[in-house]
């Protein structure tokens, strides 16, 4: 089942844009400068965490197909990362998570109320950065993206432990909760560079498919990675009543199997959940899920074909490899 490729390293991928990303980091750090504000210690905590910065890198790389001075693009990249941080703060609050990127979460360290308010502050701070680009089209997309992110989160909350979720619902949810921001990250970089609409569309398509692929892989790893490492699938998603690709694929192939429905009706039945986990972590299910995920990788890659063959295009393709590489274990 393994496809061996050399694992691309993020610092190698980022090397052509390392100066840009440093300036993006500087812009984000400027949020710590408000000495007299009560939010400052919490802001420091969340912005000094070491994320992978995939989204701002996508924005910067997407701006490299039309000459521009980089100022608006780097501001936008900072906004995209700040928005991502804001959503993580509220996600961790909603999920009762204690740890994030190797540090305690705001809700676990300061409290749920503080996390709600800090998330709001970070949403607004990210919005002021987008305003600094001066581009209404990009500002609007940004606001719509926050609406989509919230819709994705709400869908997950409202339909937890409901077995009536089909493949279409699932794709809509992961578009909203993950792909939307990747799409905006890519699209806004292209728009702010002044690129033609066909390039803007190509990069948006890349972002959507990278984002969907990113989430599909995440959902597959929820089962497959832990099984690979520990011999036992953990399956956090199904334990939280969230139906993802492996369950949907298993159900498609076994329409008579009502074990998920029975588990959702009695979520304390751990025998039942173990039975489900064994079924959905079966090699044939995982393989079929990976085939589906790789279709999105192909779509993302194909979208870039209209772009000139530059270093930055290569970096966008390498980012795809990075997201997908660990999955054919």
Q: Considering the complex, state which of residue 64 and residue 141 has its C-beta at the smaller distance from its own copies.
A: 141
* Residue 75 beta carbon to its own copies: minimum distance, rounded to whole angstroms: 13
Q: Is the dihedral of CA 246, 249, 254, 258 positive or negative?
A: positive
**Residue 188 or 281 with smaller CB distance to its own copies:** 188
Give min distance, CB of 123 to its own copies, in A.
6
Tokens of 264: 């959702």
- Tell me the sheet residues that pair with 103: 100
Q: Which is nearer to its own copies, 144 or 265 (CB)?
A: 144
- The single-letter DSSP state of residue 327 is G
Nearer to its own copies, 130 or 327 (CB): 130
Shortest reach from residue 131's CB to its own copies, in Å: 4
| Comparison of 149 and 320: residue with beta carbon closer to its own copies | 149
Measured CA to CA in angstroms, residue 29 lies from 34, 70, 81, 100 at distances of: 11, 18, 12, 19
**Minimum distance from residue 184 beta carbon to its own copies (Å):** 12
The answer to whether 235 and 267 are in contact (CB under 8 A) is no
Least Å distance, CB 158 to its own copies, is 5
For residue 202, the minimal CB distance to its own copies (Å) is 25
Backbone conformation region of residue 137, classed left if phi is above 0, alpha if psi is from -120 to 50, else beta = alpha
Nearer to its own copies, 131 or 221 (CB): 131
CB of 107: closest distance to its own copies in angstroms? 10
Q: Which residue has the tokens 């999955």?
A: 327
Kindly tell me which of 237 and 282 has the beta carbon lying closer to its own copies. 237
Residue nearer to its own copies on the CB measure, 180 or 259: 180
Q: Rounded to whole angstroms, what are the CA distances from 287 to 38, 224, 238?
A: 50, 10, 19
Closest CA to 185 of 100, 49, 78, 66: 78
**103 in helix, strand or coil?**
strand
Distance CA 289, CA 294 (A): 9
Q: Where is 100: in which H helix or E strand?
A: strand 99-100
Nearest to residue 241, comparing CAs of 180, 295, 161?
161
Distance of alpha carbon 156 from alpha carbon 298, whole angstroms: 27
Residues of the shown chain interacting with its own copies in the complex, contacts defined by CB under 8 A: 37-39, 42, 90, 93-94, 111-114, 116-121, 123-125, 127-128, 130-131, 134, 136, 139-140, 143-147, 149-151, 153-155, 157-159
Burial status of residue 2 (CB atoms within 10 A of its CB: 0-12, 13-18, 19 or more): exposed
Min. distance of Cβ 113 from its own copies in angstroms?
A: 4
């Amino acid at each position: 089942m393994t496809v061996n490729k050399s694992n691309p390293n993020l610092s190698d991928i980022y090397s052509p844009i390392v100066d840009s990303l440093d300036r993006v980091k500087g812009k984000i750090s400027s949020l710590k400068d408000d000495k007299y504000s009560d939010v400052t210690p919490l802001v420091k905590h969340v912005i000094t965490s070491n994320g992978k910065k995939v989204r701002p890198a996508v924005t910067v790389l997407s701006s490299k197909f039309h000459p521009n001075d980089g100022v608006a693009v780097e501001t936008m990249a900072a906004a995209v990362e700040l928005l991502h941080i804001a959503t993580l703060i509220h996600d961790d609050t909603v999920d009762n998570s204690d740890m994030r990127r190797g540090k305690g979460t705001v809700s676990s360290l300061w409290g749920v109320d503080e996390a709600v308010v800090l998330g709001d502050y970070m949403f607004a701070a990210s919005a002021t950065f987008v305003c600094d680009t001066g581009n209404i089209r990009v500002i609007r997309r940004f606001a719509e993206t926050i609406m989509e992110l919230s819709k994705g989160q709400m869908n997950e909350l409202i339909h937890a432990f409901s077995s009536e979720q089909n493949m279409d619902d699932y794709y809509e949810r992961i578009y909203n909760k993950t792909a939307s921001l990747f799409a905006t990250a890519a699209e806004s970089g292209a728009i702010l560079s002044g690129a033609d609409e066909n390039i803007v569309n190509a990069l948006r398509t890349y972002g959507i498919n990278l984002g969907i692929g990113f989430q599909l892989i995440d959902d597959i790893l929820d089962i497959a990675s832990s099984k690979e490492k520990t011999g036992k699938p953990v399956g956090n998603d199904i334990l939280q009543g969230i139906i993802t690709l492996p369950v949907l694929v298993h159900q498609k192939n076994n329409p008579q199997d009502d074990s998920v429905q029975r588990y959702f009706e009695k979520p304390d039945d751990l025998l039942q959940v173990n039975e489900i986990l064994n079924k959905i972590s079966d090699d044939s299910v995982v393989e079929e899920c990976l085939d589906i995920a790789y279709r999105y990788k192909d779509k993302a890659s194909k979208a870039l074909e209209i772009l000139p063959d530059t270093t930055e295009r290569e970096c966008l393709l390498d980012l795809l490899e990075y997201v997908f590489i660990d999955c054919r274990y």
